[in-house]
Structure 1
Amino acid sequence: MITALIMAGGEGTRFWPLSRKDHPKQFLKLNDDQKTMLQETVERINELVPLEQIFIATNKAYQKAIKKQLDGIPEENIIVEPMKRNTAACIGLSSVMIEDKYPGSTMIVLPADHLIKDQKRFLDILRKSIMTAATGNNLVTIGIEPTHPETGYGYIHFGDKLHTIDGDQVFEVKNFTEKPDLNTAKEFLEEGTYLWNSGMFIWRLSSILSNIEIHLPEMYESLQRIKGALGTNLAEKVIRDEFENMQSVSIDYGIMEKADGIFVIPGSFGWDDLGSWPALERVKKVDADGNVVIGKHYGIDTTNSIIHSPNKVVTTIGLDDVVIVDTEDAILICDKKRAQEVKEIRNILTDEGLEDCL
């Protein structure tokens, strides 16, 4: 039995001002396809996991949008987190709820807002990950073979080879590294034993829950109380009360960096997390001047830039390596090299009380 959990509660802060609190990145059509990122994610795995076995973890603000976009997903498969508590709590809550419905299943965990070009190859790697997760308490992740020294991703340092499945190697994980500086990223690329951390995981429900019990015992106790309340009139209250008291910690830091039996399968299937505006250069048409233009733009000596303005004409003179994004109520102009800092602008707007712009 294979189940899937798609995490769709993020706000896509680095894609502001297009991505908003009430309409984040996973609900946008950033690829050339006419489907949203969330719809593409569900469709991508539907060959492997039927719709009734796909679950969506989100928050209450996005519940209606998910129902509208995914009318084939049973309503009870939308898992609503009462408040933000990071990915370990999200995955823990989802695990006990999925176990209640599909006990003994192997769960695939995926972000809702990634681009994958080669679906066939992706599903092949998923199947091999499922095979690896079937042994013991193995926790499996998919690492992306790096193509350049990226500072916006975390990295996975892999060690000895566990085995090979039809030509694909499975490695033990030595450690995880948070987003490095440029020099460190260059060293990782040259060394050849580092992969980008995709945030995709595969494990049996019993494996991840036993690891939560070992490494996050207080969270595990809360999850057991939630498990006992499922199917009763008290379920919603117990989930809210227990979730509120859970530690806010990522699954990487809370489990993956501490557990034994962590394995990674390198993948190369046209992956991109579309984490910030410069990522559009990898999925949209680039013109002769190196610009990605969505909308109308007229420029003189404007190169290597991203201009997103569907409703207004944008004119530029003498610009290089910039991002310009125009929406109904906000304009972003930034150095393309500093696009990762867009989320900090949101923090400033929050501090200034400009919540309507978020």
Structure 2
Amino acid sequence: MNKFAVILAGGGGTRFWPLSRQETPKQLLNISGNDIMLNDTIERFKGIIPQENTVIVTNRSQAVLLESIMHSSVLKGNILIEPVARNTAASILFAALFIEKFHGDSLMVVLPSDHHITDEDQFRKTLNEACTAALESDKIVTIGIKPTFPSTGYGYISYQNVPYTTSPCAMYEVAEFVEKPNFQKAQAYLSSGHYMWNSGIFIWKTSVIIENFNRYLPRLYKSMLPLRDYLGTEQEEEMINKIYPTLQNISIDYGILERCDEVIVLSGNFGWNDIGSWDALGAIFPPDESGNIVKANYMGIDTRNSIIYGNGRLITTIGIDGLIIADTEDALLICPKNKAQSVKEMVDMLKERGMTKYM
């Protein structure tokens, strides 16, 4: 059975504002100093999935830049462009219908485009085990991450005590997907030992996920199914533009995963981090002796536990502790590190006030 990687690359990365913008979101930025995050993602599954079997789902505002800087192995015809954002469920069904039409029933690995992983060899080993489990069953397979601290920025997966199977590795039936908790709940999840972080990495056969759409999201399924007939034809773009604005706006987690009782999870331990907000930069850059992460032209006095990110202009600080300072050509963000998750609210405020040139 053919294997395909589907990379969801249409997000706005709003919690990484002002560096991340609508047309240049963080997945198209070189944050690590190695390559843009999208290309890092493509390199990561090398040897498990043929890189030419990469399908990227993005949006119209990002497509031109994406095509110019993405990995050379990706076929231009495998870039699926959404005219409007309709969340992850629509993106995943679009990709599944595309793969199934041109390649028949195939294994489909869904990957976010903006994660950072330090142990790529272990990642490939875990991904290979997950692929084997999905190929040998009609289950939805996901990779959970053993939590190391009570994060309020990640979703969680609750799982059964006894393994569903031990071949090719220990896998557990999922009891519940839980949205981002408050700090007290996150502490309880960590203490229980029966929760993992939701990595957003999913593995399934295209036939399995399409049937789950039919069962749990029938309205979305019925709306999108006619699109399959037009893929690869002269009317493809016209029909995508016609159908997409009518689609249900719902995530794959809410729409299917939280309802389905055929989901199994295996634990991944490969230095995973969802670089979703400024306070996650410590996963890429080790702090200095004062606890600061500095990627800027910078001088400071008595400055501790802070993140300072600049674009060339000199940044100076005196007597601060636990702040994020992110300076770009046209916008400056200053906030406490414990408010990093609230940056999205600032972007929402910019939108409400019509200040879209800063988005």
TM-score, L = length of structure 2 = 0.97
Q: Is the 8 A contact 1:32 1:284 kept in 2?
A: no
Q: Alignment partner of 2:32: what SS?
A: coil
The aligned length equals 356
C-alpha distance in structure 1 between counterparts of 2:297 and 2:237, whole Å: 49
Q: Partner letter of residue 289 of structure 1?
A: S
The residue that corresponds to 1:225 in the other structure is 226
Q: Partner letter of residue 67 of structure 2?
A: K
Q: Alignment partner of 1:31: what SS?
A: coil
Q: Partner letter of residue 83 of structure 1?
A: V
Matches within 5 A, 1:14-33: 14-33=15-34
- CA positional deviation for 1:310: 3.1
Q: Partner letter of residue 62 of structure 2?
A: Y
C-alpha distance in structure 1 between counterparts of 2:198 and 2:91, whole Å: 19
Q: Partner letter of residue 229 of structure 1?
A: Y
C-alpha distance in structure 2 between counterparts of 1:52 and 1:293, whole Å: 37
**Which has the higher mean CA deviation after the structures are superposed, 62-71 or 154-163?**
62-71
Q: Alignment partner of 2:290: what SS?
A: coil
Q: Is the 8 A contact 2:139 2:208 kept in 1?
A: yes
Whether 1:282 aligns to 2:283 is yes
The residue that corresponds to 1:49 in the other structure is 49
C-alpha distance in structure 1 between counterparts of 2:102 and 2:281, whole Å: 39
C-alpha distance in structure 2 between counterparts of 1:183 and 1:22, whole Å: 37
C-alpha distance in structure 2 between counterparts of 1:65 and 1:310, whole Å: 20
Q: Alignment partner of 1:201: what SS?
A: strand
Matches within 5 A, 1:1-358: 1-33=2-34, 35-70=35-70, 71-159=72-160, 160-166=162-168, 168-358=169-359
Q: Is the 8 A contact 1:158 1:174 kept in 2?
A: yes
- CA positional deviation for 1:49: 1.5
C-alpha distance in structure 2 between counterparts of 1:256 and 1:314, whole Å: 45
Q: Partner letter of residue 149 of structure 1?
A: P
- CA positional deviation for 1:220: 1.4
C-alpha distance in structure 2 between counterparts of 1:310 and 1:67, whole Å: 25
- CA positional deviation for 1:298: 1.6
The gaps in structure 2 that reach 5 residues or longer are none
Q: Alignment partner of 2:174: what SS?
A: strand
Q: Partner letter of residue 47 of structure 1?
A: G
Q: Partner letter of residue 75 of structure 1?
A: K
Q: Partner letter of residue 107 of structure 2?
A: T
TM-score, L = length of structure 1 = 0.97
C-alpha distance in structure 2 between counterparts of 1:41 and 1:54, whole Å: 10
- CA positional deviation for 1:45: 1.1
Q: Alignment partner of 1:165: what SS?
A: coil
C-alpha distance in structure 1 between counterparts of 2:261 and 2:326, whole Å: 45
Give the ranges of 4+ consecutive aligned residues of structure 1 lying more than 6 Å apart after TM superposition.
Answer: none
C-alpha distance in structure 1 between counterparts of 2:20 and 2:232, whole Å: 36
Q: Alignment partner of 1:10: what SS?
A: coil
C-alpha distance in structure 2 between counterparts of 1:95 and 1:10, whole Å: 19
CA deviation map 1:190-232 (0-9, x unaligned) = 0000000011100000000000000111211123211122233
- CA positional deviation for 1:146: 0.4
Q: Is the 8 A contact 2:311 2:329 kept in 1?
A: no
- CA positional deviation for 1:296: 2.1
- CA positional deviation for 1:137: 2.4
C-alpha distance in structure 1 between counterparts of 2:139 and 2:224, whole Å: 21
Q: Alignment partner of 1:310: what SS?
A: coil
Q: Is the 8 A contact 2:174 2:261 kept in 1?
A: no
**Identity percentage over the alignment?**
42
CA deviation map 1:55-102 (0-9, x unaligned) = 000011111222112232111000011211100011001110111122
Q: Alignment partner of 1:163: what SS?
A: coil
Determine which structure has the larger strand proportion and give its number: 1
**Which has the higher mean CA deviation after the structures are superposed, 126-135 or 37-46?**
126-135
**Which has the higher mean CA deviation after the structures are superposed, 63-72 or 319-328?**
63-72
Q: Alignment partner of 1:212: what SS?
A: helix
**Which has the higher mean CA deviation after the structures are superposed, 37-46 or 128-137?**
128-137
C-alpha distance in structure 1 between counterparts of 2:137 and 2:50, whole Å: 26
Q: Is the 8 A contact 2:57 2:82 kept in 1?
A: yes
RMSD (Å) for aligned C-alpha atoms: 1.2
C-alpha distance in structure 2 between counterparts of 1:2 and 1:153, whole Å: 28
CA deviation map 1:149-203 (0-9, x unaligned) = 000000000013111135x310000001100000100000000000000111000
Q: Partner letter of residue 39 of structure 2?
A: Q
**Which has the higher mean CA deviation after the structures are superposed, 67-76 or 114-123?**
67-76
Q: Partner letter of residue 50 of structure 1?
A: P
Q: Is the 8 A contact 1:51 1:72 kept in 2?
A: yes
Q: Alignment partner of 1:324: what SS?
A: strand
C-alpha distance in structure 2 between counterparts of 1:340 and 1:47, whole Å: 35
